[in-house]
């Protein structure tokens, strides 16, 4: 039962939802708001002793002489800057006098059913029947500043969603130079932390390290989250693993510069904080104006990393992703990029569609090179009109030919970019992000359009809309192939240039909101040079994101494992590509490539007319597997059974129906181990007393023990979960198999 209460006699707030509790208290006559508890559900209301206000140095009310000692150890719910808490602050405000000191204390609160949105930003959503929200208003009376802390919870989901609004009531202009979305103070319990790191083609690899003294964290200053770091962090007990131990996860619903940090103090306290990166951030707040931060999602799990992941998955599937495809199976697509690169014409594309349609593929996606003078990646970005030298008859004719074969047509755009060699740049060089008088740095020979400007976004959107209305386009892949640099805008005055990065991201959001509003049945897939914008903010606009430009089945094991720590499998763009793989040169079996891609959106990234007949014949079977199992993969609970990133030999995961009636187990044997007959795995999420049959993907019995020939074996869920099954280790390198666990 979801419940939020203010306990007047205790001066505390208690949030209870599903299996967790979150408790805060107001202490001292000044009204400091402190964090008392976040974790497994507790029955008692009064846990104020956890804030240690009854121990030295005591509160200022009882011990004014040691006020700074109090500030430096009190577990502030939203810590401020410059008053004596020398740990990382959540907010910093530059006043007209040039000082930064702020002290926020309790003013009022409000509790209500449902949840309000955040102006200009993506956010989780809910209704009055399944969502409750708490607002706590803190104030700095001397500075005339208010901070409204928002806490929302959803029925049945072990998460607390937070963000903050800073309001200027000072009577004069101030500048906000830091505004975290959420801060969480806890006692250290010999925590480890997990962060995600990577680079192009190897995004979101898991990195587990101890929480050390001082500040450790992840950040991006690229104008996007980037391939390199991710806003997600989790803290976990030393003995915690996939299915045991206590874990705290935090993720940011944002697609721009971020900073997520962990700080371990001299008193062995841990502060976990996330929000917009304060580097180069300076936001003008005139009198009466306010600033709302992006949303942060805090998850607690007493069932290890797996419990945390399943909570994130449920929350994002049920309360973040929107639109026509939110609860629908996505069409199986084939993208022409690795098949043709820039070398294509209408005839070539129709040939691919003709062959693909006969194999059961449902959509052709036309990638880069269909517009302007785009014959290579050195020109024409921004010129969003059809190149009829390549596509005789235009997109309308191509769409008709593709539709005639029973397939949908999708299209690639890179709306945020401009090439110096383009009609658009020649007409509007000031629309490119640059510092006046300084030679800008290029990446992929392209620059970035100034999306802080409404005239720029309006123009770009008018071109995109015209293209989409010209033909039956049912899918858009929105790409972004370089980070932001040389930050300068012709329309922002010098004193407000620190607003650029955040305003840029809001420009992206505004344009995508227009897109999905005007074309409500459009399937939008976000992408940024692969996985540089795989974040919760993007999922608010499109239900899936391209996971990585590296489609190698072995590399994808670590990429998809790290991604699935937070994001549902239904969000992960995953394709079968040709071999040798275009990113790493590795050759893996076509069957294995299919099995790995089935745990994502599923599609193809190859020239289906040129692959071997042996591989081509496997496609109808893979298509059938997708239709048979996608509902289970898309809506089921995800369990990690074995991790190649840890054991360097074998990978295994499971998707289980919510009612435990069936499961799909995917096993990938990356490296054959000498003289090992089998590996034993234990399944999860089944009904203990139910009887199950184990099937191969062709429907035959999966036999892993010596038994009478022709005998069908049945197992109770308790046996499969506690004793396990044996997986033969005789297939060879890069071999895989699916096991369908079906209730008898």
Helix pair 346-359, 619-635: axis angle to 10 deg:
80
Predicted local confidence at residue 730, as pLDDT: 65
Per-residue pLDDT at 706 exceeds 50: no
Burial class of residue 543, CB neighbours in 10 A (0-12, 13-18, 19+)? buried
**Mean pLDDT on 481-486:** 97
**Mean pLDDT on 580-589:** 94
**Mean pLDDT on 4-9:** 97
**Mean pLDDT on 135-159:** 97
pTM listed for this prediction: 0.97
Per-residue pLDDT at 186 exceeds 60: yes
Where b means 16+ CB within 10 Å and e means fewer, 265-279 reads beeebbbbbbbbbbe
Is residue 549 part of the annotated active site? The answer reads yes
| 564 phi and psi angles, rounded to 5 deg | -75, -10
Is residue 631 part of the annotated active site? The answer reads no
CATH code at 641-743: 2.60.40.1180
Q: How confident is the model at residue 709 (pLDDT cuts 50, 70, 90)?
A: low
**Mean pLDDT on 113-125:** 97
Structural fold of domain 3-319: Beta-galactosidase; Chain A, domain 5 (2.70.98)
DSSP assignment of 210-241: E--SEEEEEEE-SSS-TTTEEEEEEEE-TT--
Assess contact for 413 and 450: CB atoms under 8 A.
Answer: no
**Mean pLDDT on 674-696:** 92
Predicted local confidence at residue 323, as pLDDT: 96
> Measured between alpha carbons, how far is 15 from 13 in angstroms, rounded to an integer?
7
Distances (CA, A) of 143 to 91, 195, 239, 667: 13, 37, 46, 60
Predicted local confidence at residue 710, as pLDDT: 63
Per-residue pLDDT at 290 exceeds 70: yes
Question: Pick the catalytic residue: 251, 367, 383, 479?
Answer: 479
Lowest-pLDDT range, 185-189, 370-374, 430-434, 725-729? Answer: 725-729
Q: Distance from CA of residue 636 to its chain's centroid?
A: 18
Per-residue pLDDT at 285 exceeds 90: yes
Q: What percent of the chain lies above the pLDDT cut of 70?
A: 99
Per-residue pLDDT at 606 exceeds 50: yes
Predicted local confidence at residue 368, as pLDDT: 97
pLDDT tens-digit map of 519-534: 999 999 999 999 999 9
Question: Tokens 């000044």 map to which residue?
Answer: 30
Per-residue pLDDT at 731 exceeds 80: no
Q: What residue spans define the domains of the chain?
A: 3-319, 333-635, 641-743
Question: Pick the catalytic residue: 549, 578, 651, 729?
Answer: 549
Nearest CA to 224 out of 248, 207, 205, 200 is that of 200
Predicted local confidence at residue 711, as pLDDT: 73
Q: How many residues does the chain have?
A: 744
Classify residue 658 by its DSSP letter. Answer: T
Residue 611, number of CB atoms within 10 A of its CB = 19
pLDDT tens-digit map of 53-89: 999 999 999 999 999 999 999 999 999 999 999 999 9
603-605/637-642 β-pairing: unpaired
> Measured between alpha carbons, how far is 660 from 438 in angstroms, rounded to an integer?
61
Q: What percent of the chain lies above the pLDDT cut of 90?
A: 95
Burial class of residue 44, CB neighbours in 10 A (0-12, 13-18, 19+)? exposed
pLDDT tens-digit map of 380-396: 999 999 999 999 999 99
Per-residue pLDDT at 708 exceeds 70: no
> Measured between alpha carbons, how far is 104 from 625 in angstroms, rounded to an integer?
57
Distances (CA, A) of 241 to 134, 246, 646, 668, 719: 32, 9, 12, 21, 22
Per-residue pLDDT at 3 exceeds 50: yes
Per-residue pLDDT at 545 exceeds 60: yes
Predicted local confidence at residue 676, as pLDDT: 76
What angle is formed at CA 334 by the lines to CA 328 and CA 335, rounded to 5 degrees? Answer: 115
* Cα within 13 Å of Cα(426), Cβ side: 6
Q: How confident is the model at residue 614 (pLDDT cuts 50, 70, 90)?
A: very high
Task: Give the three-state DSSP class for 67.
Answer: helix
Structural fold of domain 333-635: TIM Barrel (3.20.20)
Burial class of residue 709, CB neighbours in 10 A (0-12, 13-18, 19+)? exposed
Predicted local confidence at residue 704, as pLDDT: 55
Q: Are 3-319 and 641-743 in the same CATH fold?
A: no
**Mean pLDDT on 314-319:** 98
């Amino acid at each position: 039962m979801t419940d939020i209460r203010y306990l007047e006699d205790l001066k505390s707030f208690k949030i209870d939802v599903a299996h967790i509790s979150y408790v805060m208290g107001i202490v001292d006559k000044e009204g400091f708001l402190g964090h008392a508890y976040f974790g497994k559900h507790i029955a008692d209301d009064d846990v104020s002793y956890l804030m240690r206000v009854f121990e030295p140095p005591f509160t200022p009310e009882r011990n004014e002489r040691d006020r700074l000692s109090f500030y430096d150890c009190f577990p502030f719910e939203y810590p401020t800057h410059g008053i004596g808490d020398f740990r990382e602050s959540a907010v910093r405000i530059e006043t007209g006098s040039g000082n930064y000191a702020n002290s926020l204390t309790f003013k009022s609160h409000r509790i209500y059913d449902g949840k309000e949105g955040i102006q200009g930003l993506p956010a989780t959503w809910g209704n009055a029947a399944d969502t409750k929200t708490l607002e706590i208003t803190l104030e700095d009376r001397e500075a005339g500043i208010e901070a409204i802390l928002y806490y929302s919870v959803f029925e049945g989901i072990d998460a607390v969603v937070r963000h903050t609004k800073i309001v200027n009531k000072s009577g004069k202009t101030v500048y906000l130079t830091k505004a975290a979305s959420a801060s969480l103070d806890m006692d250290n319990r010999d925590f480890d932390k997990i962060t995600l790191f990577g680079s192009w083609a190897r995004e979101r690899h898991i990195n587990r390290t101890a929480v050390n003294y001082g500040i450790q964290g992840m950040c991006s200053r690229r104008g996007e989250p980037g391939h390199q770091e991710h806003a997600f962090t989790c803290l976990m007990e030393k003995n915690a693993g996939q299915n045991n131990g206590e874990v705290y996860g935090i993720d940011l619903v944002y697609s721009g510069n971020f900073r997520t940090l962990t700080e371990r103090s001299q008193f062995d306290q841990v502060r976990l904080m996330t929000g917009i990166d304060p580097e180069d951030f300076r936001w003008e707040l005139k009198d009466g104006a306010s600033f709302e931060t992006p949303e942060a999602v805090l998850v607690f799990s007493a069932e290890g990393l797996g419990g945390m992941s399943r909570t994130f998955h449920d929350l994002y599937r049920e309360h973040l992703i929107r639109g026509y495809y939110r609860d629908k199976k996505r069409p199986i697509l084939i993208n022409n990029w690795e098949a043709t690169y820039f070398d294509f014409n209408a005839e070539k594309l129709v040939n691919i569609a003709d062959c693909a349609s006969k194999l059961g593929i449902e959509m052709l996606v036309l990638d880069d090179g269909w517009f302007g003078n785009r014959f290579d990646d050195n020109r024409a970005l921004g010129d969003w009109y059809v190149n009829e030298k390549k596509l005789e008859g235009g997109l309308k004719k191509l769409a008709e030919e593709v539709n005639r074969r029973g397939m949908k047509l999708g299209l690639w755009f890179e709306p945020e970019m401009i090439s110096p060699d383009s009609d658009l740049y020649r007409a509007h060089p000031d629309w490119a992000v640059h510092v006046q008088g300084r030679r800008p740095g290029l990446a992929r020979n392209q620059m970035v359009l100034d999306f802080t400007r409404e005239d720029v976004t309006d123009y770009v959107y008018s071109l995109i809309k015209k293209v989409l209305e010209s033909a039956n386009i049912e899918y858009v892949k929105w790409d972004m192939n370089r980070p932001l640099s040389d930050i300068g805008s012709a329309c922002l005055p010098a004193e407000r240039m620190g607003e650029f990065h955040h305003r840029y991201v809001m420009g992206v959001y505004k344009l995508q909101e227009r897109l999905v509003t005007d074309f409500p049945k459009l399937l939008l897939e976000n992408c940024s040079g692969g996985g540089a914008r795989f974040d919760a903010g993007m999922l608010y606009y499109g239900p899936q994101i391209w996971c990585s430009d590296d489609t190698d089945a072995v590399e994808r094991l670590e990429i998809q494992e790290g991604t699935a720590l937070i994001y549902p499998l239904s969000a992960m763009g995953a394709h079968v590509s040709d071999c040798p793989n275009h990113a790493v040169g590795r050759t893996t079996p076509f069957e294995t490539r299919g099995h790995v891609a089935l745990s994502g959106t599923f599609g193809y990234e190859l020239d289906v007319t040129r692959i071997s007949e042996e591989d081509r014949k496997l496609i109808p079977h893979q298509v059938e597997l997708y239709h048979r199992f996608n509902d289970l993969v898309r809506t089921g609970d995800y369990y990690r059974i074995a991790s190649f990133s840890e054991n360097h030999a074998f990978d295994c995961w499971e998707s289980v129906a919510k009612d435990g009636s069936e499961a799909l187990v995917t096993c990938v044997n990356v490296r054959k181990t000498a003289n090992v007959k089998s590996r034993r795995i234990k399944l999860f999420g089944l009904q203990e007393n139910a009887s199950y049959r184990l099937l191969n993907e062709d429907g035959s019995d999966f036999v892993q023990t010596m038994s009478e020939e022709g005998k069908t074996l049945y197992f109770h869920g308790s046996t499969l979960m506690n004793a396990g099954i044996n997986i033969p280790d005789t297939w060879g390198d890069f071999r895989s198999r699916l096991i369908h666990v079906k209730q008898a």
